Amino acid sequence: MGFERVVSILQEKMSNYDSDIFTPLFEKIRQQTSCRPYQGKLGEEDKDGVDMAYRVVADHARTLTFAIADGAFPSNDGRGYVLRRILRRGVRYGRQFLGGELGLISSIVPTVVELYKDFFPEVEKHQTTAQEVIADEEKAFGTTLQRGIERFTKSLESAKQKGLTKIPGDEAFFLYDTMGFPLDLTQLMAEEHSMGVDVDGYTKAMEKAKMVSRSDRKSRASTGGKVLVLEAEQTDHLQKQGVKPTVDDWKYSWNHEPSASVMAIYTGDAFVQSTEEVATDESIIVILDKTSFYAKSGGQVADTGSLVSLDVKFDVADCLSFGGYIAHIGRALEGVVTVNQPVNCAVDYSRRAKIAPNHTITHTLNLALREVLGEGADQKGSQVDEDKLRFDFAHGKPLSASQSKRIESLVKQSIKDSLEVYTQVITLAEAKAIHGIRAVFGEVYPDPVRVVSIGKDVPSLLQDPENEAWMALSVELCGGTHLKNTSEAGDFALVEETASAKGIRRVIGLTGEAALEAHKAAETLKQSLADAAKQPDVELEPLVAKIAASIDAATISVAEKDAMRKELNKLGDRARKAVKEAAANALAKATAEGVQLAESYAKDGKAYVVAELALGADAKVASKVVTTMAEKMNGGSAMVVSHDARKGKVLAVASCGKSHQPGQLAANAWVSAAVQPISGKGGGKPALAQAQGSGDPSAAAAVAQTAREYAEKALSI
């Protein structure tokens, strides 16, 4: 008996929705929508559909909150799409029947948490994530919801006018494909109007869309973008020809070139008997009876290498699995590949030797994340290749500097500890019984399944599967290729941490030589910081900018990068303080020079003054200086011309006395004329104006000279 039913019985309620599990949710919905209170009406009594909407929104808010707290997130496939369908159904009910705004469901999450946190503490822990994820989904669907409802209404009216009892399948598919309406939502909306949906037509429309997609792939192939896959038609053909699925037990062997037989050759359009029927340099698929190549799976990239014999060399660029058939994708470099021909599988083991550390260390990284962030940091995906490892995990916010540092430290320690890596194939039931075993939730695993355990052999785990000590070990279901000992990874650097999706973070790590290079680069930058710290404050500004750019561009540990940025900020504070002081001193000096010059000109009975001062391109400061200078001119006029070396700008600001403005010297005309040599622009009023353009110190001198000539002419001096 479920929790809700038990509560309704204890509270002597005929319906779960009348218990105090739901009444607070209904009240929250009423507050958010200003709709009438919930009345418990059903069926024909609920003519306006309001009570049904109350129940749907409340129940769906609960479902989504719990699901996200358990690590599931809305997406376009699998369980994620189930959640997306639930959410969109709730959004539509809240909007159409309750008049709620977007964000209604996410606004109910705190109430759900308050109701259940004492019984299910995990919902409180993940409240923020649940609220943010739901809000984002509501916003995304809200952009098409109203248009989708309008489209459905038109389709409904059209169907009724034609005497149909069902919404046409192509219309239902359009609502799904373009408006984001899941089929079951369209069916529900149709039922509300005593109509159905042509599901067969919907299925045909979807198949047609898939065919168009396949045609697009073939079109890309004809223009060089070849896509080689084995679909159901091809695997069925192989089965009918008696070709058995590829035996790939050798994929875990190293430095071994086993012999195999070519069972089929596929061009992407047809099966052929030999590569003589294939254009030169054309990529094809070769199927073997057995192989030592690892096909792309579980986030690990495929092996590459060659299929070779005495006079044949076939370059294997990729390896994929289709229904048990391993497709060796590549092209013939030498000789002719023929069906039934024996070849040796020459895997590029030097490349695999770079992939294996990244895969094994992904497992110790998974364990470190669990230790630092807790059980909720479930794996959401990964990718390992010869260059790096990438790992996605459930977590609602960026890692802190201390968390990144701790995670990296734990992984590095696992390498220093020289832990043995054990693998064994056991039954799925045995594997699942091991306490603390990690797997990707929602992933389908074979039975029997391969277990990879780091630091403890699998038989020991099976002897005492419920031992809580296993929680401290890395034990995972995994079919990838691994190291024999963690020490072979050499080193580790966690070099990137970003958001992958709402509620999901992504980290990128390096092992081996790449990790060592990352740490060396960090040491070099640390030395640059130390050297910069010894420099005079007034010389720090360009150094800080240069080092900041180097840190941003560097592939180094996230923790080290964060620590360096903090040190750089201290240097930046010193530089800014020095620049500010220098600017203040320069301004005071320039102002004094300008005022002194104006006073001198006024004493000599001059009507105007043009001063070249070091004020940068700060028009506000220049305006204050030039106004003060004009005042010293006893009603005369003044212009300041300043060159900003950093910006490469020349600024001209003028202040004209009232006696000059009528028909003689106006500030706006004066500055416009002054900047003509540098094609500058400006504006303002007759009393005060400014203009600027690009140029060097010589350009500033030209502007000043032009200003003097203009003033002489305007004032008829």
- pLDDT tens figures, 429-444: 999 999 999 887 666 7
CA 328 to chain centre: 32
pLDDT for 221 equals 45
| Beta pairing partners, 347 | 305
Q: Poorest-confidence range of 193-197, 501-505, 517-521?
A: 501-505
Q: What is the mean pLDDT of residues 456-485?
A: 95
Averaged pLDDT for residues 665-690: 93
Most confident by average pLDDT, 219-223, 254-258, 409-413: 409-413
User: Worst-scoring range by mean pLDDT, 215-219, 256-260, 319-323?
Assistant: 215-219
CB 660 within 8 A of CB 607: yes
Element (DSSP H or E) covering residue 456? none
Domain limits, the chain: 3-163, 232-347, 354-515, 605-714
Q: Is the pLDDT of residue 126 over 90?
A: no
pLDDT of residue 1: 52
- What H or E segment, with its residue span, contains residue 698? helix 697-714
Q: How, if at all, do strands 284-288 and 325-334 pair?
A: antiparallel
Give the residue, 684 or 591, on which the prediction is more confident: 684
Pick the residue with more confidence: 213 or 522?
522
324 close to 290: Cβ distance less than 8 angstroms: no
Mean pLDDT for the stretch of residues 550-576:
94
98-102, 126-130, 469-473 — most confident range: 469-473
CB 137 within 8 A of CB 148: no
Among 159, 150, 224, CA closest to 198: 159
Cβ atoms within 10 Å of 322's Cβ, excluding its own: 19
Question: Region 127-138: what's the mean pLDDT?
Answer: 88
The mean-pLDDT minimum among 104-113, 225-234, 295-304, 676-685 falls in 225-234
Residue 478 marked ligand-binding: yes
Q: What confidence score (pLDDT) does residue 215 get?
A: 52
In this prediction, residues 517-526 reach a mean pLDDT of 96
Characterize the bridge pairing of strands 196-197 and 325-334: unpaired
Q: Which residue has the tokens 């373009």?
A: 178
* Both structure tokens of 232: 């159901």
Architecture of domain 605-714: Roll (3.10)
> Partners of 506 in the beta sheet?
392, 498
Distance CA 668, CA 682 (A): 8
Percent of the chain with pLDDT over 90: 58
Mean pLDDT in residue range 300-320: 95
Predicted confidence at residue 385, as pLDDT, reads 96
Which of 121-135, 140-154, 516-530 tops mean pLDDT? 516-530
The C-alpha atoms of residue 703 and residue 673 are separated, in whole angstroms, by 9
Q: The tokens 């060159």 sit on which residue?
A: 643
Nearest to 192 by CA among 336, 365, 47, 25: 47
pLDDT of residue 662: 63
Q: For residue 214, what pLDDT is reported? A: 55
Paired tokens of 124: 């409180």
Q: Is the dihedral of CA 83, 86, 89, 92 positive or negative?
A: negative
* 8 A C-beta contact, residue 630 and residue 637: yes
Which two tokens mark 237? 């053909």
- Is position 126 annotated in a ligand binding site? no
**Spatial contact of 86 and 59, defined as CB atoms under 8 Å apart:** no
Q: Are 94 and 145 in contact (CB under 8 A)?
A: no
Residue 717 pLDDT class (50, 70, 90 cuts): low
pTM: 0.69
The pLDDT-based confidence of 149 (bands split at 50, 70, 90) is confident
Among the listed residues 158, 159, 155, the one whose alpha carbon sits nearest the alpha carbon of residue 178: 155
Task: Kindly state the average pLDDT of the residues 88-116.
Answer: 90
Given pLDDT bands bounded at 50, 70 and 90, which one contains residue 661?
low
Check for a shared fold between 354-515 and 605-714: no
Q: Does pLDDT of 220 surpass 70?
A: no
Q: How many angstroms separate the CA atoms of 289 and 301, rounded?
A: 21
pLDDT digits (tens, 9 = 90+) for 379-423: 988 999 999 999 999 888 899 999 999 999 999 999 999 999 999
Length reported for the chain: 717
Is domain 232-347 classified as CATH 3.30.465.10? no
Percent of the chain with pLDDT over 70: 97
Question: Once rounded to an integer, what is the mean pLDDT over residues 7-26?
Answer: 80
Q: What is the mean pLDDT of residues 87-116?
A: 90
Superfamily of domain 354-515: Threonyl-trna Synthetase; Chain A, domain 2 (3.30.980.10)
Lowest mean per-residue pLDDT among 39-43, 295-299, 437-441, 565-569: 437-441
pLDDT band at 212 (very low <50, low <70, confident <90, very high): low
Q: Is 359 annotated as contributing to ligand binding?
A: yes
Apex CA 8: angle with CA 4 and CA 9, to 5°?
120
Of 177-181, 363-367, 663-667, least confident by mean pLDDT is 177-181
Taking residues 76-83, report their average pLDDT. 80
Beta-carbon neighbour count of residue 161 at 10 Å?
8
Mean pLDDT of 589-601: 90
Cα–Cα nearest to 243, from 286, 277, 284: 286
Query: Is 363 known as a binding-site position?
Result: yes
